[in-house]
Amino acid sequence: MPPLPSVNMPPDHARGHMDEHADIVIVGAGAAGLAAGIFAAEAARARGPARIVILDGAKRIGAKILISGGGRCNVTHERVTHADFNGSPHIVRNILAAFGVEATRRWFASLEVELKREETGKLFPVTDQARTVLHALTARCEKLKVVIHLHHRVQDIIPQPDASGSPSFLIRHEHGAMSACRVILATGGRSLPKSGSDGGGWSIVRRLGHEVTPTYPALVPLILTPDMFHAELSGVSQEVELTTQVDGRVVDRRRGSLLWTHFGVSGPVVMDASRFWTRARGEGAEVEMRCNVLPDMNREEAERWLKARIAEQPKRALAKLITGHLPDRFAAALCRFLGIDPSMSSGQVTREQRNVLVQGLTQLRLPILRDRGWNYAEVTAGGVPLNEINFRTMESRKVPGMYLIGEMLDCDGRIGGFNFQWAWTTGYLAGRSAAADLHVTSEAPR
Ligand SMILES: Cc1cc2nc3c(=O)[nH]c(=O)nc-3n(C[C@H](O)[C@H](O)[C@H](O)COP(=O)(O)OP(=O)(O)OC[C@H]3O[C@@H](n4cnc5c(N)ncnc54)[C@H](O)[C@@H]3O)c2cc1C
């Protein structure tokens, strides 16, 4: 793999850029910002030269892309619908319709990134290296002469419409200021703050009149109280149905793989459900997660199944009797946790013990202490409400000429490549729209 290109960084990048002007400034060089830069440059190029500058506060580009998908970058999923996202369904559906999976596949092919599909439907680069994706994005930016200034944290954006009322902006950053005709904000959320995404972009848009709904870690592992048996099962994973109840009402039910870890629980099903727990906890509601470790059965079916197994093999040790459907270590740990000797003969199990076991198998309460925090959350729930942007263009409804994209919006996807899809799609819409608007304005001033 060749080294990452130099991203058009001028040698004086650490000095000020007072009086520098760009047609479009993009704030944030993550997945959404880089996509927006590429699409804006391509759209603008067809009509004439345009100067496009991306500013990012980080010292290195693409930290989050590089660590994504376990270093392999799960760029999208073979099937993406609005149901894979938490966010206004009608708006999400319309946004996805503009640039869906097929368009994304074609786009990656045009970037010379060959993708492969895994059994789960997730799409990865065939190289199994996230670096391939980052390299392709930055190389295309370089080819299109999109300038990227790293170490340029933006502090404020001030709309300064010109005499004809056309949008224009002053962008203050840590080394000075620059002006732009259009601004695209792609500052991400709060997950993995050391990557540069620390929620700073929301302070800027709040000052410009946008609302920001409360934000919570999502796709985050959960820490259990020490009296639970998770630590002894560390590394064991099993298929479960996980139900989240808030103030006694079921808000989420999903099935998938749960991973026991030294601190608690993780794995796709836990990560996907975690946003419901973090949000409810943040709002001070009563929230509970229960686990059915026999996901093909409800309580009554599990009771019938257990009775039949006991009748068939009354001399078999209880934990061994139930392991057919469960990992061995889990069966024994669950029995002990429920106060039942795992080695006792099944035939000696009392009715009360059987009831306790059925309850533990189908409605095991996970004693959650807290989530694992922003350093381990893959994405952010909450952000700028989708109804504050025009979903056809991603333009702000509060500030003409400013566009908002990616994770800073109040929309989060489930595990499987959906969050990157959101970044590519919203980047596509904003990049093309900002470039087109630029020319409409220059050809026919408003
Ligand atoms: C460990 C991990 C693994 C993940 N794996 C996957 C995966 O495999 N598939 C998937 O779909 N999703 C994955 N995600 C989620 C995905 O990475 C994000 O949803 C996506 O990167 C969001 O893109 P973005 O461009 O909106 O924001 P970000 O990638 O967060 O980029 C925002 C950029 O803005 C910059 N910035 C912030 N504030 C300012 C400012 N004031 N001035 C200038 N610059 C600023 C930041 O430095 C950053 O570079 C993963 C996330 C994590 C943390």
Mind listing the pLDDT tens digit for each residue in 291-310? 999 999 999 999 999 999 99
Mean pLDDT of 193-221: 96
Mean pLDDT of 390-402: 97
pLDDT (0 to 100) of residue 11: 39
Region of poorest pLDDT, from 40-44, 247-251, 437-441: 437-441
Q: Which residue has the higher pLDDT, 191 or 48?
A: 191
Q: Does any ligand 1 atom lie closer than 6 A to the CB of residue 23?
A: no
Mutate to test the pocket of ligand 1, among 66, 378, 404, 429 (most ligand atoms within 8 A of CB): 378
Cα-based torsion angle of the residue sequence 385, 387, 391, 397 in order, rounded to the nearest 10 degrees: -100
Q: Ligand 1 atom 51: the closest Cα is on which residue? A: 378
In a 3-state reduction of DSSP, which class is residue 396? strand
pLDDT (0 to 100) of residue 445: 41
419 with 379: CB under 8 angstroms? yes
pLDDT (0 to 100) of residue 442: 52
Q: Does any ligand 1 atom lie closer than 6 A to the CB of residue 423?
A: yes
pLDDT (0 to 100) of residue 444: 45
Mutate to test the pocket of ligand 1, among 187, 194, 220, 403 (most ligand atoms within 8 A of CB): 187
Q: What is the chain's Cα-based Rg?
A: 26
Q: Which pLDDT band, with edges at 50, 70 and 90, does 325 fall under?
A: confident
Mean pLDDT of 378-407: 98
Q: Ligand 1 atom 8: the closest Cα is on which residue? A: 69
Q: Ligand 1 atom 35: the closest Cα is on which residue? A: 28
Separation of CA 198 and ligand 1 centre (Å): 10
pLDDT (0 to 100) of residue 9: 47
173 with 151: CB under 8 angstroms? no
Q: Ligand 1 atom 13: the closest Cα is on which residue? A: 68
Q: What is the pTM of this model?
A: 0.94
* The residue type at 106: R
Q: Residue written as tokens 């793999």?
A: 1
300 with 371: CB under 8 angstroms? no
Q: Does any ligand 1 atom lie closer than 6 A to the CB of residue 385?
A: no
pLDDT (0 to 100) of residue 19: 57
229 with 244: CB under 8 angstroms? no
Residue 167 scores a pLDDT above 60:
yes
Q: Does any ligand 1 atom lie closer than 6 A to the CB of residue 197?
A: yes
Residue 141 scores a pLDDT above 70:
yes
Task: Give percent of the chain above pLDDT 90.
Answer: 88
Kind plus residue range of the DSSP H or E element containing 133: helix 130-143
Residue 38 scores a pLDDT above 60:
yes
Provide the b/e sequence for 147-163 (b: ≥16 CB within 10 Å).
bbbbbbbbeebebeeee
Q: Does any ligand 1 atom lie closer than 6 A to the CB of residue 427?
A: no
Mean pLDDT of 263-288: 97
Q: Does any ligand 1 atom lie closer than 6 A to the CB of residue 186?
A: yes
Q: What is the pLDDT of residues 1-26, one digit of tens each?
A: 444 544 544 434 444 444 599 999 99
Q: How many CA atoms lie within 13 A of 47 on its CB side?
A: 17
- Give CA–CA dist 422/401, Å, rounded: 21
The average confidence (pLDDT) of the chain is: 93
Q: Which stretches does DSSP call E strand in 192-236?
A: 216-218, 222-224
Residue-range domains of the chain with CATH: 20-214+380-443 (3.50.50.60), 221-372 (no CATH)
